[in-house]
């Protein structure tokens, strides 16, 4: 990671040098690489790439970053948005092989049905505890924004030597099942997951929810340099 932060172009150079076919990174890494490419007056350093899959995950995905990836020479068909948590080992949603979808400024992390057949389920539930049960949450309807919860046979039992955080692995939702609380906010529309931010970063202004990622994207557009 430190090498990349110091020399972002090293990533693209390695893909070129070794004819890389698969790569992956968070939204910020592709955005940073695109910025450095523009500064170097070379928007397509991945000219001869045989890239088959370019995964993008780990944080909300900006539509602008998808376009940046295309401008860098990555085929749109190779761009692979996804979502997962290490605590749940690991992939939860996948857009592999399908067109990138955007809704309300957020890129879909993919279909949930693909992982559901392996016993991994995603639910969007109220972001705050309700009633007498500290860890009981109500499952929300499609299109409503709430916290993302995951249930899977591959889920960990807890964090190493951090028992005070183990409650995140046993949150009861209104369907009677126990889930892992991701701390991420998102919504599901037509079986596709859209990640919008982190619950602890949510800003409430006069009763209105404001997501820091939305502010960041506006600033990036207004002040691209």
Is residue 216 domain-resident?
Answer: yes
Question: Where do we find the tokens 């409650």?
Answer: 167
CB 61 within 8 A of CB 195: yes
Q: What is the pLDDT of residue 217?
A: 64
Measured CA to CA, the distance from residue 18 to residue 91 in angstroms comes to 27
Residue ranges of the chain with per-residue pLDDT less than 70: 42-49, 127-135, 200-225
Q: What's the structural domain count of the chain? A: 1
Q: What is the pLDDT of residue 46?
A: 66
Q: Using alpha carbons only, give the angle 54, 59, 62 rounded to the nearest 5 degrees.
A: 70
> What CATH number is given to the structural domain containing 186?
2.30.38.10
Provide the whole-model pTM: 0.83
Question: Where do we find the tokens 């490419």?
Answer: 37
Is residue 102 domain-resident?
Answer: no
Structural domain boundaries, residue 223:
111-225
Q: Is 195 helix (H, G, I), strand (E, B) or coil?
A: strand
Is residue 155 domain-resident?
Answer: yes
Q: What is the pLDDT of residue 26?
A: 94
Is residue 119 domain-resident?
Answer: yes
Is residue 165 domain-resident?
Answer: yes
5 Cβ contact list (under 8 Å, min separation 6): none
CB 147 within 8 A of CB 137: yes
Is residue 79 domain-resident?
Answer: no
Tokens describing residue 22: 């698969």
Q: How far is CA 118 from CA 6, 85, 206, in A?
A: 40, 15, 42
* pLDDT tens digit sequence for 30-47: 999 998 888 887 666 666
Is residue 209 domain-resident?
Answer: yes
Q: What is the pLDDT of residue 220?
A: 67
Burial 16-34 (b: 16+ CB within 10 A, else e): eeeebeebebbbebbbbbb
Q: What is the pLDDT of residue 182?
A: 93
Is residue 91 domain-resident?
Answer: no
Question: Where do we find the tokens 């993008």?
Answer: 56
């Amino acid at each position: 990671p430190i090498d990349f932060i110091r020399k972002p172009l090293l990533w693209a150079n390695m893909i070129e040098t070794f004819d890389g076919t698969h790569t992956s990174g968070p939204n910020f890494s592709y955005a940073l690489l695109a910025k450095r490419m523009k500064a170097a007056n070379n928007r397509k350093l991945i000219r001869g790439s045989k890239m088959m899959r370019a995964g993008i995950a780990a944080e909300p995905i900006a539509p602008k970053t998808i376009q940046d990836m295309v401008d860098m020479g990555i085929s749109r068909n190779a761009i692979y948005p996804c979502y997962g948590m290490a605590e749940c080992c690991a992939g939860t949603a996948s857009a592999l092989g399908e067109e990138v979808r955007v809704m309300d400024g957020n890129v879909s992390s993919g279909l949930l049905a693909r992982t559901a057949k392996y016993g991994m389920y995603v639910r969007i539930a109220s972001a705050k505890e309700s009633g007498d049960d500290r860890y009981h949450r109500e499952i929300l309807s499609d299109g409503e924004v709430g916290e993302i919860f995951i249930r899977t046979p591959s889920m960990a039992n807890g964090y190493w030597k951090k028992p005070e955080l183990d409650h995140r692995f046993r949150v009861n939702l209104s369907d009677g099942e126990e889930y892992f609380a991701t701390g991420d906010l998102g919504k599901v529309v037509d079986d596709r997951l859209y990640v919008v931010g982190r619950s602890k970063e949510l800003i409430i202004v006069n009763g209105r929810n404001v997501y820091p990622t939305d502010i960041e994207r506006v600033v990036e557009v207004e002040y691209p340099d």
